[in-house]
């Protein structure tokens, strides 16, 4: 019997098969090499994409405030500014609320974050919007202080029955009539003129007090009218005066009724612009608007959160100063 070895044939077959696989590929690269090449190609494509993205990026080119000049006939007149961002693709967006608004003369005007212009006093000023690295301005002109009208001034505090021995007007003398007081606060967003404004109660046919010339109140500021004496209160953003009226028979301008009454504020034309009704249940303490300045009802001074003492003429009930214009308009 003949025997044959199959190994050489199998080996040759394997070699032949291997050669055929290499020939079929058509090149001398292996699959890993091909994979590396594809990866490099993808990387180049990504780089090109990044370059295109950088080229197409839209950037801010400036900000423009409109109008470039604004005049308010009086401090009461409404006004508004807008700020527009300009972009490299030619588009525009409203950025009024994103501006940091400033005014170079805060005694003339104040601009709130929404672009509203509030008249503080007559004169000229420049308002500036700063947005990112850009800014633009508007020239402001404000006319005279406008007269107080309904809603502008509130009775913030009233003391009709001072405690025995108390000296709210701080003149060194305790007097049940002279130490009575009414505190008015400007609750509006602009300065108002109180000249000709009067205080009345239901039991007198003549004004208990009449404001004279140069009686202006900025937003958040207060004025206190005492029954008499020589008020000696030196507080920020508040002035105090003794009452004045034209009736010589009425010795003291206020003479508030301890048993209760209604005190009314009237504007220069005689129209009611505010009032408070109180009864005789509160003794030796004042009644206060709660919350102060913006409240809708009155309460015993002691019931106001953080209150100090039985009354607080020329300060908030907490003994803090009345708000600044910026605190009042843009808290």
Q: What is the pLDDT of residue 56?
A: 79
What is the spatial distance between Cα 293 and Cα 140, in angstroms, rounded to a whole number? 28
Q: What is the mean pLDDT of each run of 10 residues along the chain (331 residues)?
A: 36 38 36 42 49 72 98 97 97 97 97 97 98 97 97 97 95 94 97 96 84 95 95 94 75 81 95 93 94 95 95 97 93 73
Q: What is the pLDDT of residue 29?
A: 31
* Signed CA dihedral, 202, 167, 267, 250: sign only: positive
* Order of all β-strands in the sheet with 146-147: 146-147, 192-193, 216-217
Please tell me the CATH code under which domain 147-326 is placed: 2.60.40.1260
Q: For residue range 139-172, what is the model confidence (pLDDT) as tens digits?
A: 999 999 999 999 999 999 999 999 999 999 999 9
What is the spatial distance between Cα 226 and Cα 208, in angstroms, rounded to a whole number? 11
- By C-alpha distance, which of 240, 223, 218 is closest to 324? 218
Residue spans of the domains in the chain: they are 60-144, 147-326
Pairing outcome for strands 82-87 and 123-131 = unpaired
- DSSP element (H, E) containing 329: helix 325-329
Q: What is the pLDDT of residue 245?
A: 77
Pairing outcome for strands 216-217 and 192-193 = antiparallel
Q: For residue range 71-104, what is the model confidence (pLDDT) as tens digits?
A: 999 999 999 999 999 999 999 999 999 999 999 9
Report in angstroms the alpha-carbon separations of 70 from 107, 124, 126: 16, 10, 10
What is the spatial distance between Cα 261 and Cα 80, in angstroms, rounded to a whole number? 42
Q: Cis check for the bond before 67: say yes or no (omega within 30 of 0).
A: yes
What is the spatial distance between Cα 121 and Cα 147, in angstroms, rounded to a whole number? 12
Write down the pTM of the prediction: 0.80
Please state which architecture CATH assigns to domain 60-144: Sandwich (2.60)
Residues in a beta bridge with 240: 224
Is-same-fold flag (60-144; 147-326)?
yes
Q: What is the pLDDT of residue 205?
A: 74
User: Could you tell me if 151 and 273 are in contact, meaning their C-beta atoms sit under 8 angstroms apart?
Assistant: yes
Identify the three-state secondary structure at position 317.
Answer: coil
Side-chain half-sphere CA neighbours of 30 within 13 A? 1
Q: What is the pLDDT of residue 12?
A: 40
């Amino acid at each position: 019997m003949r025997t044959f070895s199959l190994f050489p044939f199998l080996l040759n077959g394997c070699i032949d098969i291997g050669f055929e696989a290499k020939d079929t590929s058509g090149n001398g690269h292996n699959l890993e090499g091909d994979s590396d090449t594809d990866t490099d190609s993808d990387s180049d494509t990504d780089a090109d994409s990044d370059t295109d993205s950088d080229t197409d990026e839209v950037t801010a080119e400036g900000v423009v405030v409109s109008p470039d000049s604004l005049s308010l006939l009086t401090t009461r007149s409404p006004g508004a500014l807008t700020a527009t961002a300009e972009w490299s693709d030619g588009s525009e967006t409203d950025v009024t609320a994103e501006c940091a608004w400033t005014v170079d003369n805060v005694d003339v005007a104040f601009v709130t974050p929404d672009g509203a212009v509030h008249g503080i006093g007559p004169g000229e000023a420049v308002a500036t919007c700063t947005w990112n690295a850009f800014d633009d301005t508007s020239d402001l002109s404000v006319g005279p202080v406008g007269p107080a009208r309904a809603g502008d001034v509130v009775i913030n505090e009233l003391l009709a029955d001072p405690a025995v021995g108390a000296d709210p007007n701080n003149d060194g003398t305790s007097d049940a009539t002279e130490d009575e007081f009414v505190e008015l606060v400007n609750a509006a967003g602009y300065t108002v003129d109180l000249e000709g404004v009067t205080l009345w109660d239901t039991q007198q046919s003549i004004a208990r007090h009449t404001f004279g010339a140069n009686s202006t109140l900025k937003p958040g500021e207060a004025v206190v009218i005492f029954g008499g004496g020589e008020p000696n209160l030196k507080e920020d953003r508040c002035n105090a005066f003794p009452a004045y009226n034209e009736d010589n028979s009425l010795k003291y301008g206020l003479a508030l009724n301890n048993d209760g009454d209604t005190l009314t504020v009237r504007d220069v034309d005689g129209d009611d612009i505010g009032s408070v009704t109180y009864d005789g249940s509160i003794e030796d303490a004042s009644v206060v608007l709660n919350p102060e300045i913006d409240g809708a009802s009155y309460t015993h001074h002691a019931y106001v959160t953080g209150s100090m003492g039985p009354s607080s003429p020329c300060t908030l009930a907490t003994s803090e100063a009345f708000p600044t214009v910026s605190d009042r308009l843009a808290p």
